[in-house]
Chains A and B, each alone.
Chain A
Amino acid sequence: SQQGEEDPQALSIQEGENATMNCSYKTSINNLQWYRQNSGRGLVHLILIRSNEREKHSGRLRVTLDTSKKSSSLLITASRAADTASYFCATDGTGANSKLTFGKGITLSVRP
């Protein structure tokens, strides 16, 4: 079964708008991470939020975590065409250097 489930599955916005993507998970976690994948490429780590944190910022990215609802959201502000990619949340449950469990991903299209 999927540990991370993102929604929406696809999102299309205009350049300059904000993009919000959500992720839900089923079991307890250590950390939750967000990755980006450009078409045909590998994944790039964006941001990690620990289970005892509620919000974290990195540049135009803001991630929140609600462990009571087992959900997280990723906000990209002032989107750019270059943000067009697939975004995945991933959870790890057993400490450092453990496997990651990914959701199916969200396809974000930013129209110029």
Chain B
Amino acid sequence: NAGVMQNPRHLVRRRGQEARLRCSPMKGHSHVYWYRQLPEEGLKFMVYLQKENIIDESGMPKERFSAEFPKEGPSILRIQQVVRGDSAAYFCASSPPGHYEQYFGPGTRLTVT
């Protein structure tokens, strides 16, 4: 059973461009979570999704950020008009229904120049 997959692993964008981060959960996991980690910091929750539904987006900035988890395909975290402050590692995690533990992907390191 492959683990949580994220791509790309590294992404460089110029200020003002769009960043698209992809996450494929583990097989059988219908719950996906996105977290952001700044250097020397812990992870900060952004959004929690199930297939075709956003369950909790309380950690998501109101502007420029959006997330989806379509019926088919990976979950996408989209950042429009990136700024330098968006530079961070973005981690996706997944879990099966009824579970507390989350399984993390390797992360996407976004650098905004």
Which residues of A does B touch, CB under 8 Å?
2, 4, 30-31, 33, 35, 41-45, 48, 88, 92, 96-105
Binding site for A on B (CB under 8 A): 4, 31, 33, 35, 40-45, 48, 56, 58-59, 91, 93, 95, 97-107
A88 contacts B42, C-beta separation under 8 Å: yes
Q: Find out whether the CB atom of B43 lies under 8 angstroms from the CB atom of A102.
A: yes
The total of interchain contacts (Cβ-Cβ below 8 angstroms) comes to 63
The binding surface of chain A is classed by DSSP as loop
Residues of B within 8 A of A99 (CB): 33, 45, 48, 56, 58-59
Bound complex: CA of A105 vs CA of B99, how far in Å?
A: 23
A100–B103 alpha-carbon span in the complex (Å): 12
Chain A nearest CB, measured from B75 CB (Å)? 15
Chain A residue at smallest Cβ distance from B102 = A100
State how many angstroms separate the Cβ of A49 from the closest Cβ of chain B: 11
List, sorted by A's number, 27 A–B pairs whose CB atoms are closer than 8 Å. Answer: A4-B42, A33-B100, A33-B101, A35-B104, A42-B104, A42-B106, A42-B107, A43-B43, A43-B104, A48-B101, A88-B42, A88-B43, A96-B97, A97-B31, A97-B97, A97-B98, A97-B100, A98-B48, A99-B48, A99-B56, A99-B59, A100-B33, A100-B35, A100-B43, A102-B44, A103-B42, A105-B42
A42 B100 Cβ-Cβ under 8 A: no
Question: B3 CB to closest chain A CB, in angstroms?
Answer: 8
Q: What's the Cα separation between A58 and B41 when bound, in Å? A: 27
Least distance between B80 CB and chain A CB atoms (Å): 23
User: CA A45 – CA B44 in complex, angstroms?
Assistant: 16
A43, B4: Cα distance in complex, Å: 11
The complex places the Cα of A30 from the Cα of B35 at a distance, in Å, of: 20
Min C-beta distance of B90 to chain A, whole Å: 11
